[in-house]
Amino acid sequence: MPNRVDLQHKELIKKILTEGVEKIDRTGVGTKSIFGHQMRFLMGEGFPMVSIRRIHMKSTIHEMLWFLGAYDQGKYSSFGNTNIRYLLDHDVTFWSDWPYKKYMESRKYRPELPEFNMNEFQAKIVLDDDFAREFGSIGPGYGKQWLSYGSRIEKKQKPGSYPIVFETIIHPGINQIETIIDQLKKDPDSRRIILDAWKVDELEEMLLPPCFLSGVKVFTSKGYKNIEDIKVGEKVFTHLGNFKEVNKIFKTPYKGKILNIRPRYVSHEFGCTPNHPFLVKDKGWVNAENIGINDKLCIKINKSSIIPELKIRSGVNQYKDFKIKDIKLDNMDDWYIMGYFLGDGWINHINPKKGQIFFAINEEQEEKIVAKISKRMSLYKDKKHIGKVHRFECRNKKWYEILKEFGRFSHGKIIPNWVQDAPIEYINVFLDGYQDSDGSIVKRNKSKVFLTTSNDISFGIQRLFAKIGRVSSHVFQNRKETTEIMGREVNQKSTYNISLNNRPHKSRFNFDEEYLYVGISKIEEVQVENYVYNLSVDDDNSYTVNNICTHNCHMMFQMYSFRMNEEDRLHSYSSWINDNKLVFGRPMEEYNFPERKLSMQLYIRSQDVGLGQPFNIAEYALLLHMIAQIVHMIPHELIINIGDAHIYNNHIEAMQKIIKRDSYDQPKIWLNPEIKNICDFRFDDIKIIGYRAHSNIPMDVAV
């Protein structure tokens, strides 16, 4: 059987070398990079290890045991599973660069610390327990987040104490590995068996913290919401044009650098941590700190062309149940009415049984607008008017149910997503209606302008214009809550000014079939001490803020199990009997053979393909096998989704040599079947059998 691990690894290397874009990264080394790649490995084909370069599996196994805390607790508990002491005791050195770098930086303000080379530093960690505790930690990395997510130590005043006495309260956090194992045993079909390796409460200590300040507007299936108000289970709009569920919310205190980025044509700037990735024209996902003033950010264009069919309530009666009717909005006049209502219409939401709808119509346009609306409903002119603006009323329960979808009050109006999904010809008529209500024409250049107090309308109109191939400019004007008019104090709202210029600066934007690309007018660096927020999103791993596509940037994996059918179970049983050299013909029940298979899907935000990927494949395949044994399932498939897949410039020569090598067969893995608790695994309980590989090629770590 061909070694599909080598095959997929080679294909990715070739793709990066031929199609990758040049990027300057946080390390300063530089990379060739592509965005978005998936690899799949079936465990039934053998244990997935590359053979075109040798993987030091001893290091891989010890690293996994380190993450899991599967070691002699009596000896290592005082160091913990984020301290390299355990690794160095077992001659594993590839995590040493980060603590060593921190140690050398500490000497800048602690001159009494001796200068060590790397070998001397590692020897000091091994021989000096106190030194190891102070300088051996990598920070709250994956191991800590797996086993004690949210753990912290709190100093709190003891109640009633005088003089004041502080007591130490230890919050142990969540063991995500044990939680996953418990879920697989009790609810194996759950879709929320997820582990997240980013602990945003500790962003200041972690290597790569990604987040936003509060107030950025996230586009959801129910309109735009502040990021701090998003809840788990809500659906957000992704860079691929899908609505996907939020599976985790992250909020943390943060002190440090924030980049305020102001895209052109967008009403608000947003503040984010320097390494939050955004989708950038011609470059893919780029961290904020690497975005330049000449780059263009992406607004996803809605590609749907669906004539909406709504289910509305009719027959409203206190003695009868509501009747549900299907309404297809395929009449162009309906779209003009909805567009006009968005700007100058409202409903009587206090008494919905009346089905009252109101329109405000300027007498200069009265004949035209009344004629259009009257094609679909009967209007009655009200005696109430303000100056030249008259109020018209209609009582129509069908239309009431349709128009209430647009929200209420001028600042609370929204554009339903079924409008965004409509065919372009319907959207053009909708925008004509909105133009006649909230719009005007600038005589000087014939450009169209609109005024609204709703941020949902502002962002939604921008997306509608993008869909028809137009770019609209949006400016937010922050107004005082009250103002004086003719001696009276009246309330007022902040406004959004929307303009559609007939001759926009084409150097500031571009279109293709998928995105509107907008330039950047300002990037400003500030220091803040505030809460920051992020979302973890199913599948697409992205969402939009202020209409701009951004990545959710978290390292996570998800478990998926399924019950085998009779044929699949029999085939798996036969393979298992053969691998373990057992007697054929005995029933599966005699060996307590598993009934389910287990897969793992891993998302990696940023992947060092040259140095890190071969280890990641083997390591997570090992974790899949270990968990599968503990929950009594058959390991089935490892799926790896990579965000930024890159090769460092100083690795390119080695990669060109590696892809020319031939492959060997995949090895097999043996786990001690007596192990029933994942923390009880030790190095001798894991064996890789039949591994053959070419010699390794040394490559430097970029830190």
The token pair that represents 543 in the structure block: 């969402």
Average pLDDT over residues 409-430: 94
Average pLDDT over residues 267-295: 86
Residue 314: predicted pLDDT: 64
Averaged pLDDT of the chain: 86
The token pair that represents 54 in the structure block: 């040798």
Average pLDDT over residues 211-240: 93
Count CB-CB contacts under 10 A for residue 238.
23
Residue 318: predicted pLDDT: 44
Q: CB under 8 Å to 619, separation ≥6 — which residues?
A: 60, 63, 64
Residue 164: predicted pLDDT: 64
- Whether the pLDDT of residue 480 is over 50: the answer is yes
- Whether the pLDDT of residue 541 is over 90: the answer is no
Report which secondary-structure segment, H or E, holds 573.
helix 566-579
Average pLDDT over residues 209-220: 86
542 phi/psi in degrees, rounded to 5: -155, 165
More confident residue, 574 or 167: 574
Average pLDDT over residues 334-352: 93
- Whether the pLDDT of residue 674 is over 60: the answer is yes
Catalytic position from the list 211, 298, 394, 553: 211
Residue 227: predicted pLDDT: 95
- For residue range 350-385, what is the model confidence (pLDDT) as tens digits? 888 888 999 999 988 999 999 999 999 999 988 776
Q: Which of 157-166, 438-447, 688-697 reaches the highest mean pLDDT?
A: 688-697
The token pair that represents 368 in the structure block: 């035209």
- For residue range 165-184, what is the model confidence (pLDDT) as tens digits? 666 666 677 888 999 999 99
- Cβ atoms 294, 544 nearer than 8 A: no
Average pLDDT over residues 306-327: 69
- Whether the pLDDT of residue 62 is over 60: the answer is yes
The angle that helices 424-438 and 366-373 make with each other, rounded to 10 degrees, is: 140
- Whether the pLDDT of residue 570 is over 90: the answer is no
Instruction: Report the greatest alpha carbon distance in the chain.
Output: 98
Average pLDDT over residues 251-272: 89
- Whether the pLDDT of residue 317 is over 50: the answer is no
Band of residue 614 on the pLDDT scale cut at 50, 70, 90: very high
Band of residue 489 on the pLDDT scale cut at 50, 70, 90: low
CA distances from 457 to 113, 211, 472, 481, 516 (A): 60, 26, 13, 20, 18
Helices (H) and strands (E) in the chain, counts: 18, 36
- Whether the pLDDT of residue 687 is over 70: the answer is yes
Q: What is the pTM of this model?
A: 0.61
Band of residue 416 on the pLDDT scale cut at 50, 70, 90: very high
Residue 439: predicted pLDDT: 85
**Helix/strand/coil (H, E, C) string of 255-311?**
EEEEEEEEECCCCCCEEECCCCEEEECCCEEEEHHHCCCCCCEEEECCCCCCCCEEE
Residue 152: predicted pLDDT: 62
Residue 344: predicted pLDDT: 93
- Cβ atoms 98, 207 nearer than 8 A: yes
Average pLDDT over residues 466-479: 90
- Whether the pLDDT of residue 27 is over 80: the answer is no
Is 553 an annotated catalytic residue? no
